[in-house]
Chain A
Amino acid sequence: MRRVLLNLSGLVTLVIAVFPVYWMVLTAFKPTKDILSETPAFWPAHPTFEHFHTAVTTAGFWQFWRNSLTVTVSAVLLALVVAMLAAFAVARLTWRGRRAFTLLVFIAQMAPWEALLVSIFIISRDTGMLDKLSMLSLIYFMSTLPFTIVTLRGFLAAIPADLEEAALMDGCSRVSAFRRVVFPLLAPGLMATSLFGFITAWNEFAFANALIIKNQADRTLPVWLSSFGNVYGTDWGATMAASTLFMLPVLLVFLILQRRVATGMVAGAVKG
Chain B
Amino acid sequence: MPIRRRRLEPGRMSGFWPYLLIAPTVLGAAYLLVYPVVRTVVISLQHFRIGELIRGGARFVGLENYQEILGDAEFWGVVRRTIAWTVINVVLIMVLSTAVALMIAKLGKRMRLAVMSALVLTWATPIIAATTIFQWLFQSQLGVVNWLLTTVGLDGFRGYTWFANGNATFTILVILVVWQSVPFAALTLYAGLTTVPGELYEAARIDGATARQQFTSITFPVLRTLFGLITSLEVIWVFKCFAQIWAISRGGPDGATTTLPVYAFQVAQSLHKYDLGAAVSTLTVLILIAILYVHLRQVER
Contacts and interface: CB of A to CB of B under 8 A. Distances in A.
Interface of A: 6-7, 9-10, 13-14, 16-18, 20-21, 23-24, 27, 35-36, 39-40, 81-83, 85-86, 88-90, 92-96, 98, 101, 104-105, 108, 110-112, 114-123, 125-126, 138-139, 141-142, 145, 149, 161, 164-165, 168-169, 171, 174, 199, 202-203, 205-206, 209-210, 221-222, 225-226, 228, 236, 239-240, 243-244, 246-247, 250-251, 253-254, 258
Contacts of A118: 40, 43, 264-265, 268-269, 274, 277-278, 281
Nearest to B241: A114
B136 A240 contact: yes
Which of A18, A83, A90, A139 has the most chain B CB atoms inside 10 A of its CB? A18
Interface string B12-29: 111001110110110011
A13 B134 CA distance: 18
A206 B246 contact: yes
A89 B240 contact: no
Given A17-B119, A85-B24, A115-B264, A6 B128 contact: no
24 contacts: A10-B112, A13-B103, A17-B121, A21-B125, A23-B133, A27-B136, A92-B8, A93-B18, A114-B242, A115-B281, A117-B265, A117-B281, A119-B36, A122-B43, A123-B36, A139-B32, A141-B32, A226-B131, A236-B139, A236-B142, A239-B136, A243-B132, A243-B133, A250-B125
Contacts of A18: 118, 121-122
B8 A164 contact: yes
Which of A9, A10, A138, A161 has the most chain B CB atoms inside 10 A of its CB? A10
Contacts of A209: 246
A226 B133 CA distance: 11
Given A108-B33, A119-B39, A164-B8, A20 B134 contact: yes
Contacts, number: 244
Contacts of A98: 18
Contact of B124 (A6, A24, A168, A251): A251
Given A118-B265, A244-B129, 6 more contacts: A10-B114, A13-B118, A96-B13, A115-B282, A169-B5, A226-B128
A171 B1 contact: yes
B103 A120 contact: no
Contacts of A258: 120
A142 B240 contact: no
A202 B125 CA distance: 12
A50 B114 CA distance: 31
What does DSSP make chain A's interface, helix, strand, loop or mixed? helix
Interface of B: 1, 4-5, 7-8, 10-14, 17-19, 21-22, 24-25, 28-29, 32-33, 35-37, 39-40, 43, 48, 53, 56, 100, 103-104, 106-108, 111-112, 114-115, 118-134, 136-137, 139, 142, 144, 147, 179, 183, 236, 240, 242-243, 246-247, 261, 264-265, 268-269, 274, 277-278, 281-282, 284-285, 288
A218 B17 CA distance: 40
A254 B120 contact: yes
B282 A247 contact: no
A269 B114 CA distance: 26
A28 to B, nearest CB: 11
Nearest to A247: B129
Contact of A205 (B18, B125, B147, B246): B246
A259 B119 CA distance: 15
Contacts of A9: 103
Contacts of B127: 203, 205, 222
Nearest to B11: A94
A107 B211 CA distance: 39
B5 A168 contact: yes
A40 B147 contact: yes
B107 A7 contact: yes
A117 B147 CA distance: 39
Nearest to B139: A236
A53 B71 CA distance: 54
A199 to B, nearest CB: 8
B189 to A, nearest CB: 14
A203 B32 contact: no
Contact of A250 (B17, B122, B124, B142): B124
B6 to A, nearest CB: 10
